[in-house]
Amino acid sequence: MKVVDTAFAKSFFRMCGDGFYQGWHERNGGNLSYRLKEDEIREIWDDLNFESGRQYDIGTFVPTLAGEFFMVTGSGKYMRNIPDAPEENVCIVKLDASGVRYQIVWGLTNGGKPTSELPSHLMNLEVCKRRDPNIRVVYHAHPANIIALTYLLPLDGEIFTREIFEMATECPVVFPKGIGVVPWMVPGGKDIAVATSKIMEEQDFAVWAHHGAFACGTDFDMAFGLMHTVEKAAEVLIKVMSVTDKKRQTISPRNFRALNAPFGIDIDERFLYDKKSNVIGER
């Protein structure tokens, strides 16, 4: 089967367009990766090309992913163009037996390399695979409200989570383990990949201060839906903060605890601290 005709590839390409139309992918901003299943690799085997044999350094070390195949967006490519021209803008890479190098086996037909954030994608996919082998998607986007909050709230995962939780009852139900925050760092390298994957060892979402965010998921809907949910709550918070620095009323820790039983979740208590004031962002 042709790669472009598979269900996973169609979902991948569609999500890139969806993210563009949300306004999360100006120019070449953002990137997406997917760890293929064994039956999907078998399905597309005849459409892969191993001839070049050229190997490139990942820029980090992901032994748990050795030998695996990933669909990833191309470096410098525009998410907007992916649904119409996937083969030019996306590739499939195969990792070598030690998880240090990769080979391009499909796509990027006009040349190019995988996303500049490949180290972060692969390190996140690695820690996610260790905690849940069903997690296969890692998504990086530049949503405006999440980025705006990184200028307004302390860069503290507990405070970010609590303030986002209070903006929509849905939030603690969708991500009861909360979100983490990476301080400003140089993008594209190993250091930011290490910092992000530290968060992804336990949580599904990492904010990159003054840059964007990373979400993971078991499928494209889960990763996109998580980005969408956090960004929507961030938008509500920005609207509230545009009017006042204080909340008149909000969802209380007692209210949050009441969600646990009916929704079968266990909201981490470290986000449910008692606040000393109603000023947004203060503990």
Residues 190-249 touching Zn ion, rule: CB under 5 A, are 212
Cβ(103)–Cβ(50) below 8 Å: yes
Partners of residue 73 on adjacent β-strands: 90
Query: What binding mask, one character per residue, do residues 77-116 give for ligand 2HA by CB under 6 A, x or -?
Result: ---------------------------------------x
Residue 100: CB atoms within 10 A of its CB come to: 16
Residue 31 DSSP code: E
Q: Which lies closer to ligand 2HA via its Cβ, residue 55 or residue 75?
A: 75
Q: Which lies closer to ligand 2HA via its Cβ, residue 48 or residue 185?
A: 185
Give, to the nearest 10 degrees, the angle between helix 7-21 and helix 220-243: 10
Amino acid at 39: D
Residues 125-144 touching Zn ion, rule: CB under 5 A, are none
Query: What binding mask, one character per residue, do residues 19-38 give for ligand 2HA by CB under 6 A, x or -?
Result: ---------xxxx-------
CB of 207 to ligand 2HA, least distance (A): 13
Q: Which lies closer to ligand 2HA via its Cβ, residue 8 or residue 24?
A: 24
Residue 135: CB atoms within 10 A of its CB come to: 22
Q: Does 187 bind ligand 2HA (CB under 6 A)?
A: yes
Distance, C-alpha 234 to centroid of its chain: 16
28 binds, options Zn ion, ligand 2HA, none, Cβ within 5 to 8 A by partner type: ligand 2HA
CB of 146 to Zn ion, least distance (A): 12
Q: Is 117 a catalytic residue?
A: yes
**107 CB-side CA count, 13 A:** 29
**92 CB-side CA count, 13 A:** 24
Q: Which lies closer to ligand 2HA via its Cβ, residue 8 or residue 139?
A: 139
Q: Where are the beta strands (DSSP E) in the chain?
A: 31-35, 56-57, 69-73, 90-95, 101-107, 137-141, 180-182, 205-208, 212-217
225 binds, options ligand 2HA, Zn ion, none, Cβ within 5 to 8 A by partner type: none
Q: What are φ and ψ of residue 189, in 5° steps?
A: -115, -170
| 200 vs 204: CA distance, rounded Å | 6
CB of 117 to ligand 2HA, least distance (A): 5
| Residues in binding contact with ligand 2HA, number by CB under 6 A | 8
Cβ(148)–Cβ(155) below 8 Å: no
Catalytic pick among 117, 126, 231, 235: 117
CB of 118 to ligand 2HA, least distance (A): 11
CB of 60 to Zn ion, least distance (A): 17
| 114 vs 277: CA distance, rounded Å | 47
Cβ(143)–Cβ(164) below 8 Å: no
Contact residues for Zn ion, defined by CB under 5 A? 212
Catalytic residues: 117
Contact residues for ligand 2HA, defined by CB under 6 A? 28-31, 116-117, 140, 187
